[in-house]
Amino acid sequence: MTSVVSFVNATFVRPPTFYISGLYNMAYAKYYYMFLCFVYAVTVLGNSFIIGTIYLARTLHTAKYIAVFNLALSDLCGSSALIPKYADMFLHENQYISYEDCLTSMFFVFLCITLQSYTLLALCFDRVIAICFPLRYHAIVTKTTMTLIIGVVWLFSISFVIVRIALITRLSFCRSTTVDSYFCDHGPIFRLACNDNSPNYMVSYFNIAIVLCLPMILIAFSYVCIGVALLKISHGAERFKAMKTCTSHLILVAIFYLPIFSVYITALTAYIHPNTRIINSVLAQTIPPMLNPIIYTLKTEEVLQSIKVLYKRTKVNFAMEDPVKSTMKN
């Protein structure tokens, strides 16, 4: 039974549940959701490992790794908000989700996407100052500065996503409640409304501009500045060393923005089958969080060195504990 909520002179019809359609008549769909469970397991292990390494290694207690820590945390939370609940729904063929759970899931998924995008911009700020103003780097990029930047990113992200969710609550759903997506997606839900949803359309386009396009444009402009600064370096070895410090960040930027933009551009320019759109969208949102910790572990010398130090420290601790245990037994 549909619940009706009255507010002032308006009546909002809110369904008790939404039906998440997911992949439509696709053979072996369950194997795809099992694959997502594997992706989630790797994501949890990888990002937990990075978070633990940054926390335990004193050498990584720097401004840059405050942003890296935040990226790993948002990757972990974003995947946790997206994969377990919906994979369980589709694997057990119970694709109904309550109205309240749907909005809660939407909040955390879009919050983490916004955090990921702006954290990549914060990491870009670190690289710009390091290469363009190397002598002033430690004066500008301090722990306090980066903490303030990340704090503003969190405040902005939470506020902006709350506005999007609040606009959903003013919609009436008096017809279909079938969401043509793999999760409680903002666009497919507000398009189901039978009252005026023009503010939701405006916020949706504003979201693309502010959360995706603006950070990407600023990152591209930053790398133009970095390129100009690198051209002024006369020694090839020093230039290569400076470029190497940017490779991890550039890879993270590419694997985050390119899949998402390809999905949006394809949807705007040509017809794609709903199943193809869903598969592309879910991979664009789940693969980057899985790859980010692997890239930072393999491509960043500071992280590799810290892992080696922590491993040696652990071995020494175990070696010291064994004689003590033997003595106590005797």
Write down how long the chain is.
Answer: 330
Work out the pLDDT band at 124, boundaries 50, 70, 90. very high
Lowest mean pLDDT among 4-18, 86-100, 186-200: 4-18
pLDDT tens digit sequence for 145-158 = 999 999 999 999 99
Structure-token pair, residue 127: 């690289």
Q: Supply the pLDDT for residue 189.
A: 93
pLDDT band at residue 297 under the 50/70/90 scheme: confident
The CB density around residue 117, as the number of other CB atoms within 10 Å, is 24
Closest CA to 74 of 48, 106, 113, 40: 113
Q: Dihedral, CA atoms, 142, 143, 146, 151, nearest 10 degrees?
A: -150
For 185, the 3-state DSSP assignment is coil
Between 161 and 322, name the one with better pLDDT: 161
Burial class of 200 by CB neighbour count within 10 A (0 to 12, 13 to 18, 19+): buried
Cα–Cα distance, 116 to 70 (Å, whole number):
8
Q: May I ask the CATH class of domain 10-316?
A: mainly alpha
Judged against a pLDDT cut of 60, whether residue 326 lies above it is answered with no
Q: What is the pLDDT of residue 75?
A: 95
Q: How confident is the model at residue 105 (pLDDT cuts 50, 70, 90)?
A: very high
> HSE on the CB side for 70, CA within 13 Å?
28
Q: What is the band of 1 on the pLDDT scale with cuts at 50, 70, 90?
A: very low
Mean pLDDT of 255-279: 80
Longest Cα pair distance anywhere in the chain, in angstroms?
A: 82
**Helical spans, DSSP H, in the chain:** 29-56, 63-91, 99-132, 137-140, 143-169, 186-190, 198-207, 214-231, 236-269, 274-299, 301-329
Strands laid side by side in the 96-98 sheet: 96-98, 17-20, 178-179
Q: What is the mean pLDDT of the chain?
A: 86
Q: Please check the confidence at residue 207 and state whether its pLDDT lies above 80.
A: yes
Residue 263, pLDDT above cutoff 90: no
pLDDT over threshold 90, residue 241: no
The residues spanned by each domain of the chain are: 10-316
Cβ burial of 226 (10 Å; 0-12, 13-18, 19+) is: buried
Pairing state between β 96-98 and 178-179: unpaired
pTM of the model: 0.88
Cα separation, 79 vs 242, in Å, equals 33
